[in-house]
Structure 1
Amino acid sequence: MKRHINKVAVIGSGIMGSGIACHFANIGVEVLLLDIVPRELNDKEKAKGLTLSDKIVRNRIVNDSLAAALKSKPSPIYHQKFANRITTGNLEDDISKVGKVDWIIEVVVERLDIKKQVFENLEKYRKEGTLITSNTSGIPIKFMSDGRSDDFKEHFCGTHFFNPARYLKLFEIIPGPETSPEVLDFLNSYGEQYLGKTSVIAKDTPAFIGNRIGIFSIQSLFHMVKDMGMTVEEVDKLTGPVIGRPKSATFRTVDVVGLDTLVHVANGIHENCKDDERLELFKLPDFINTMMENKWLGSKSGQGFYKKVKDDKGKSEILTLDLETMEYRSKKSAKFATLELTKTIDKVVDRFSVLTAGKDKAGEFYRKSFGALFAYVSHRIPEISDELYKIDDAMKAGFGWEHGPFQIWDAVGLDKGLEFAKAEGLEVSSWVTKMKEAGIETFYSVKDGATYFYDIPKKAMEKIPGQDAFIILDNIRKSNEVFKNSGVVVEDLGDGILNVEFQSKMNTIGGDVLSGLNKAIDIAEKDFQGLIVGNQAANFSVGANIGMIFMMAVEQEYDELNMAIKMFQDSMMRMRYSSIPTISAPHGMCLGGGCELSMHADKVVAAAETYIGLVEFGVGVIPGGGGSKEMALRASDTFRKNDVELNVLQEYFLTIGMAKVSTSAYEAFDLGILQKGKDVVVVNKDRQIATAKAHARLMAEAGYTKPPKRKDVKVLGKQALGMFLVGTDSMEAGHYISEHDKKIADKLAYVMAGGDLSEASYVSEQYLLDLEREAFLSLCTERKTLERIQHMLKTGKPLRN
């Protein structure tokens, strides 16, 4: 049976329910969001003379919840207009509408009795064959469908989204006793293809996969922090980005999620997993019990492991909880010699062997924590999963770990991992020792561009299923390398398509990257059919190498700087005017030069989570790699008969002048950075390179022809320049911008107006590029620009001087 999901019903509009509703709206699905009817009027309703029978009152809970979700940051929705896809209602007046949906998702309070009552009511109206799932985070699925019809049971299972639903990729699917295999297969592929998730079919065990391992990891640290006499700051320093975990690390993450949430899951595991060999670890340490009694739950209660306060002068300070005294104190810096050794190691996976070999407290911490983790995950197979890769997938997608436990074990080495566990007095599962005895020393291997995992029942390496829809650059980089320098690697993706992957720190664009990009275009034009610029790092590119620009400007090497900027501009023009189709595949941060590169590609295949913008104003310059020119060109292409052309141009000017950055790829269309009808958005980032390759092939096979260089860009001259200068004068006079802000804005105005031409004229792209480069160079001679660049290099934050 071929299923189509055109409309879903989400039952329960709390943080999780509203988040799930918004994410379905993100992908174009109609959503019916329902919640209970209020039992009494609030003060505002009483003042208005409303009654409990008024529709506005009956839908108050659901409407207030959705409104709060849409205002929250980070936003649960790609674009505010997508909220129009959500219809709200209540479980008394509107429950019959579930008969017209394709999938019902229950997201009510975590109580079995309430869930069963909801399912009983839903079954009265649900049509046969409709999917029905529960977003429980721990209640056994087998108990929920008791008393329901055979059709209900066949189409029922757990679908556990992680919060926030838009950003966390884990989608656990938990079968009930009678769930149809067809339903599981459908949800597995739908989650990956349409929702952009990492779908994992889990077993119906307490806390499933992600929370079972994640809560163990946190509880293990809770107990270890006391034993080792460590501070909150020290643990967060050691468990954050240095090991590929989120910046919020451990204790800050607990504050964000809510201590009560963590305690609820930990207690559930302790009560329901009596055969767990580390059961005692799920008992809450004393300091957690004290925090629960004091209601120090984290961000939701205003204090947890951290507490934000203001001093007498109104300056904010973040205090830290001292776990010995249980009092808040000023934050202390945490430094370890072992961490210093990893500063030059860019790839997280290469740091683990160094970190675990450390001679200080950090090294001891890593050996202890990884030893405990390795032993624990080995014993969870086959209890929570038959395949070890599912545990890694769950931790990466649900907890934001860059590497799962078995991948980390591979990184430190099988024998070392066994040593760490043994030193903690822990035994690993017998399947690991049998694997070693059989001569297999790793849990994963790569062959022919595909990842293989150790299949325990088969005692052999097996290919991880579902990879055919993806291109994994890590797997093909060495075997398919066509060219490499210090800035890029160029890989053959097959079928005549090349990929150029930046290798610089944070994928900044400097001389080596630009020469590598040009070399890739040369090779593609000679022997291939298309070129993609893409990578699978955390971010596409944070822009030009401003450190290089700063050094040239400080040394007053203006001729060299002029040549460097011209090389950047020329490279962008090669992207546009090469004889083969060029495709940019941005994701994550795509700022400044990364944005300019994308704007000059023939097509952009953007991940939905792309934060793209021209941010050069923050470092005291205008876009100098073709971005200012390109915005003037796009404004010109947007002019229509009877338009007020100045107003159109002003919108593009403000996109640069206000350093606007989209909060999703969909918002980038509004900014004029992505173009409707040309550029596309991919919800699942894992599919991005494969999708970009498909578009490159399609363009090549359709008979791609190199476009003619543009000489028809309409600029408005003095008319536009005058308007912009009046605007910047008034902004400075009103103290909205500084004197230096005005100088930068005036330079941008000069470029986008096409100079001080006496009347509207048609000019070439090269004319605008020359104006842009001249303006950029002149700003690099300004002391305040150099101060801004230096501040950005030191702090990562813009300076307004």
Structure 2
Amino acid sequence: MAIERAAVIGAGLMGSGIAAQIANAGVPVLLLDIVPKDGADRSAIAKGAIDKLLKADPAPLMSKSAAKLITPGNIEDDLDKLKDVDWIVEAVIEKLDVKQSLYRKLEPFRKKDSVVSSNTSTIPLQTLIKDEPESLQRDFVITHFFNPPRYMRLLEVLGGAKTRPEALAAVSDFGDRRLGKAIIAAKDTPGFVANRIGVFWMQAAVNAALDLGLTVEEADAIMGRPIGAPKTGIFGLLDLVGLDLQPHVDKSMREALKPDDAYQTVRRDFPLMETMIKEGYTGRKGKGGFYRLQRNGAEKVKESIDLKTGDYHVSDRARLESADAAKGGLKVLVTHKDKGGHYAWAVLSKLLRYAASLVPEISGDIANVDLAMRTGFNWKRGPFEMIDQLGAAWFAEKLAAEKLAVPPLLKLAAEKGGFYKTENGQLQYLGTDGAYHPLKRAEGVLLLADIKRASKPILKNGSASLWDIGDGVACLEFHSKMNAIDPDTLDLVKKSVAHVGKSMKALVVHNEGDNFSVGANIGLALFAANIAMWPMIEDLIGQGQATYKAVKFAPFPVIGAPSGMALGGGCEILLHCASVQAHAETYMGLVEVGVGLIPGWGGCKELLLRNQPGPKDPKGPMPPVAAAFETISLAKVAKSAAEAKELKLLRASDGITMNRDRLLFDAKARALQMLAEGYKPPEPKELRLPGPTGVTALHLAVDGFRLQGRALPHDVTVSAALADVLSGGATDFTTVVTEDQVQKLEKKAFMALLRTGPTLARMEHMLTTGKPLRN
């Protein structure tokens, strides 16, 4: 069965977020809630939720236009609309009687064979549908989303004994392909997979911080990036999730788990948290939590709570040697002699031992558990991957030496040499049967990590590599720090284009880093500028322009396949690709003005071309110039691939992939399709630009911003240089301007700005602080 229309019942934070993600997938969705008591507008709750979606930051909607796909309503007047819906998601309060009452209300109205799912995280499936008619039981599943639904990739899915396999398969496939989720086939156990382990982790981490006398900053400094968790750490995470949620989660886990479960021994009451909740300190959504922001005049001051006294003080950066030592790996961290090392061992020894005791109870295999923790809690590694980094045998021996029980599965891994291994280029995981099994990918999933395990690069240097991904298609991977583009990157781009032109059919530009590319390596440019190596910088600009030009006019299709940030020079290479297949969570922008520069590798030229009027658009040279100027001068960054299309950083014809694991496969398929259609490279285009009259018009706009205080002195200087480039220099509308001529103007303006003190100050400030300097 196919899911073409959906409904979400419950317009709270989670329900409206699920509706938003369904709309992000381009699927019409009903959003229903109760009728408010005042009755003035019977659908006011759902309408209000949509208004909040449009204002929220981070944005639940990938484009504001997606909100048009969400239809508000209420469960008194609009249940008849469910006859056209293929999937109904229940996301109401976690009370069994409320949910079951709702199911009985829905049953007479829903479409035959439509799937009904609950977003519950605490109530077992069998309890939910007990005594419900068989017609519902056969169509009922649990779909447990993680908050916020747009950004958290995990979706735990499970069915009951009577659930139709087709219903489970339809929701799983829709969640994977259309919603971009990592699907975990969970079992009907308390907390399912991720929360079962995650809740234990949070409890163990809080306990150990209290027992060892750590401050909240010290605890978070260890339970964050050093162990591969987000930088929020543990207390920052509790603030983010909401302190008031924790007692409810603890109660449900305590009541659902067996008396001998390790959670029952690790959990304890936390009087300070109880007091904080009573006083409204429920985290970021309240007056603050373990951290809070206080105003000191115009300045915001971050404060943290003393875990012993409950008093707040100015938050101070934790200084623990173990946090820095963790760069050497988890084993270095947990064996470090300072209190951070003791803390890491106190938490991880319990956490990893608990995880190893839960398979196969919560999941049939360890790979599912690791995937759940990576995508549900944003860990870099799942618990079994952490054990392998420590060394399974070493970990088991250390537990035994401390007279702690070693779970059978961990003993098995210690004997076998670990939970994972690579055999003939294939990643394998250890099963509960004692054998290693190949980690199979779903159809339509192609990961560069798997290609790299099984082969060697065609070309490689310190910043980039070229890989054969089959069917005559190559993949160019950036792998410098943050995938910044430097001379080595450009050199391999050039060599890759030459190699594919001689020996292969098509090229995909893609990597599996957190970000596609943060742009040019400005540290290198700043160093060269500080010692006046102007010819070297000018050569680098010329090299970038020539390289990207070779990408654009290659005799074969070059497909960009970005995910995460694609900024500056990283955005510019995508602008030169024949086509782009972007992950939905791609954040593109030409942001050079933030460091006092303008795009120098063809970004100005390409955005001018993207904004050229069509046959039915208004004629005249200024509209495309003004549009490109606005996007570049304001350093606009698209917050999704959908927004990138609105800014014309992506073409209307470019593709969007919701599930990142499917991105490389989709990009390769796009390349092969273009070849099958007889791909031919584009012809160079000619522009007609306004020249000095355009510069004057743009100067007037910038001067208005200056008078309002929105543009500072160097902003005016940078904008003037940008206006000259986009207007075509000394030209007018009657004269043809070539692409090469615009690039010459780009280079000239770039070099002139680089020689100014304010630009160098902006570059240095960005490198030092990571934030733009306003000067």
The TM-score bracket by the shorter chain reads: over 0.9
The aligned runs of 1:599-614 (5 Å cut-off) are: 599-614=575-590
CA distance in 1, matches of 2:262, 2:612: 69
Give the residue type in structure 2 aligned to 1:721: V
User: CA offsets per residue over residues 144-203 of structure 1, 9 Å max, x none?
Assistant: 112222121011011101111111011011222321223223322221111110001111
Q: Is 1:385 matched with 2:363? A: yes
Q: Is the 8 A contact 2:304 2:313 kept in 1?
A: yes
Deviation at 1:379? Answer: 1.0
Give the corresponding residue for 1:462. 437
Whole-angstrom CA distance in 1 between matches of 2:203 and 2:14: 24
- Distance change (3 Å), C-alpha of 1:749 and 1:314: closer
> Which among 73, 97, 105 is matched to residue 81 of structure 2?
97
Residues 55-94 of structure 1: pairs in structure 2 closer than 5 A: 57-94=41-78
Question: In structure 1, what is the equivalent of residue 208 of structure 2?
Answer: 224
Q: What is the CA deviation profile of residues 672-696 of structure 1, one whole-angstrom value per residue up to 9, with x for unaligned ones? A: 110112x111100111111111111
**Which residue, out of 617, 624, 646, partners 1:648?**
624
Whether contact under 8 Å (2:30, 2:71) holds in the other structure is yes
- What is the aligned partner in structure 2 of residue 780 from structure 1? 754
CA displacement 1:328-358 (0-9 Å, x = unmatched): 111122122233345xx5xxxx732332343
Determine if contact 1:270/1:283 at 8 Å carries over to the other structure: no
Q: How far apart are 1:698 and its partner, in Å?
A: 1.8
Shift of 1:435: 4.2
List alignment gaps of at least 5 residues for structure 1: 42-51
CA RMSD of aligned residues (A): 1.7
The change in CA–CA distance for 1:466 and 1:186 in structure 2 (over 3 A counts) is farther
Per the alignment, residue 245 of structure 1 pairs with 229
Measured after TM superposition, the shift of residue 393 of structure 1 is: 1.1
Amino acid at match of 1:533: V
Q: How does 1:454-493 map to 2 (within 5 A)?
A: 454-457=430-433, 459-478=434-453, 479-493=455-469
Distance in 1 of aligned mates of 2:428 and 2:49: 44
For residues 376 and 224 of structure 1, what CA distance do their matches in structure 2 show? Answer: 16
**Which residue identity lines up with residue 117 of structure 2 in the other structure?**
T
TM-score by length of 1: 0.94
1:315 maps onto 2:315 in alignment = no
**How far 1:527 moved relative to its partner?**
0.9
- Aligned residue for 1:47? none
Alignment of 1:190-229 (within 5 A): 190-229=174-213
User: What residue identity is the alignment partner of 2:7?
Assistant: A
Output the CA distance in 1 between the equivalents of 2:375 and 2:324. Answer: 28
| TM-aligned CA distance change 1:656 to 1:470, over 3 Å | same
Kept after mapping to 2: 8 A contact 1:244/1:401? yes
**Compared with structure 1, are the counterparts of its residues 637 and 548 closer, same or farther at alpha carbon in structure 2 (3 Å cutoff)?**
farther
Residue 430 of structure 2: SS of its match in structure 1?
strand
What residue number does 1:107 align with?
Answer: 91
Matched, 1:702 2:677: yes
Q: Which residue of structure 2 lines up, in the alignment, with residue 11 of structure 1? A: 9
Mapped partners of 1:788, 1:638: distance in 2:
38
Give aligned-pair identity as a percent: 37
Match of 2:486 among 510, 514, 520: 510
The residue that corresponds to 2:701 in the other structure is: 727
1:448 Cα deviation (Å)?
Answer: 5.3
Distance in 2, matches of 1:480 and 1:111, equals 55
- Given residue 378 of structure 1, which amino acid in structure 2 is its aligned partner? A
Distance in 2 of aligned mates of 1:15 and 1:141 = 22
Distance 1:639 1:318, change over 3 A: farther
Which residue is 2:264 aligned to?
A: 279
- Verify: 1:796 aligned to 2:770, yes or no: yes
Measure, in 2, the Cα distance between the counterparts of 1:265 and 1:691: 39
**1:53-105 CA distance string (max 9 Å, x none):** x5xx2111221122123211111111011111111111111112212211111
> Could you tell me whether the CA contact under 8 Å between 1:374 and 1:421 is conserved in 2?
no
Give, in whole Å, the separation in 2 of the partners of 1:240 and 1:569: 40
Cα distance in 2, alignment partners of residues 642 and 193 from structure 1:
39
2:729 — aligned with what?
A: 755
Give the distance between the partners of 1:377 and 1:641, measured in 2 at CA.
61
Shift, 1:256, TM fit: 1.3
2:314 corresponds to 1:330: yes
Alignment of 1:228-307 (within 5 A): 228-274=212-258, 275-307=260-292
CA distance in 1, matches of 2:374, 2:527: 39
In structure 1, give the amino acid aligned to 2:185: I
What amino acid is aligned across from residue 645 of structure 2 in structure 1? F
- Aligned to 2:147, the other structure's residue is in SS state coil
Query: In the TM superposition, what is the alpha-carbon distance from 1:24 to its structure 2 partner?
Result: 0.5
Return closer, same or farther for 1:64/1:642 CA change in 2, 3 Å cut-off: closer
- Is the 2:396–2:410 contact (alpha carbons within 8 Å) kept by the matching residues of 1? no
Structure 2 residue matching 1:329: 3-state secondary structure? strand
For the 8 Å contact 2:333–2:341, the answer to whether it is kept is yes
Residue 402 of structure 1 corresponds to which residue in structure 2?
380
What's 2:111 paired with? 127
Distance in 2 (CA, whole Å) between partners of 1:321 and 1:463 is: 48
Alignment correspondent of 1:598: 574
Matches within 5 A, 1:163-174: 163-174=147-158
Deviations 1:260-318 (A, max 9, x none): 2232112211122123134121233333333334342101211110111112x232111
Cα 1:717–1:575, aligned 2, differ >3 Å: closer, same or farther?
Answer: same
TM superposition shift of 1:758:
4.0
What amino acid maps onto 1:17 in structure 2? Answer: G
Structure 2 contact 688–732 (Cα < 8 Å) conserved: no
1:427 maps to 2:405: yes
Identify the match of residue 647 of structure 2 among 671, 679, 703: 671
- The CA distance in 1 between the partners of 2:309 and 2:498, in whole Å, is 65
Aligned-pair distance for 1:723?
1.0
- Whether the 8 Å contact between 2:621 and 2:733 is mirrored in structure 1 is no
Deviations 1:500-559 (A, max 9, x none): 111110000001111111121121111111111111111101000000111111111111
Equivalent residue for 2:128? 144
- For residue 600 of structure 2, the aligned residue among 624, 639, 644 is 624
Relative distance call for 1:452 and 1:186 in structure 2 (3 A) is farther
Aligned to 1:560: 536
Question: SS of 1:186's equivalent?
Answer: helix
Of 515, 532, 554, 2:508 maps to 532
How much does 1:248 deviate?
A: 1.9
Partner of 2:359, secondary structure, is: coil
User: Residue 524 of structure 2 is aligned with which of 541, 548, 557?
Assistant: 548
Larger mean Cα displacement after TM superposition, 129-138 or 440-449: 440-449
Match of 1:49 in 2: none
Which amino acid is the alignment partner of residue 250 of structure 1? I
Q: Distance in 2 between matches of 1:366 and 1:420?
A: 14
1:364 aligns with 342
Please point out which of 162, 166, 172 is paired with 1:178.
Answer: 162
Tell me if the contact between 1:620 and 1:785 (Cα under 8 Å) persists in the aligned partners. yes
Q: Secondary structure at the match of 2:458?
A: strand
Question: Given that residues 371 and 418 in structure 1 are in contact (C-alpha distance below 8 angstroms), is that contact kept between their aligned partners in structure 2?
Answer: no
Q: CA deviation at 1:420?
A: 4.3
Contact 1:636 1:714 in 2 (8 A): no
Q: Distance in 2 between matches of 1:752 and 1:304?
A: 49
Deviations 1:677-728 (A, max 9, x none): 2x11110011111111111122223332333333x12222223122112222
TM-score normalised according to structure 2 size? 0.97
Counterparts of 1:228 and 1:382, CA distance in 2: 33
Aligned counterparts, 1:333-348, within 5 A? 333-341=317-325
Question: Quick check: 656-665 or 641-650, which moved more?
Answer: 641-650
Question: 2:691–2:732: 8 Å Cα contact kept in structure 1?
Answer: yes
The alpha-carbon distance between structure 1 residues 642 and 28, as it changes in their structure 2 partners (threshold 3 A), is closer
1:234 and 1:592, CA in 2 relative to 1: closer, same or farther beyond 3 A?
same
Residue in 2 that maps onto 1:44: none
What code does the residue aligned with 1:765 have?
E
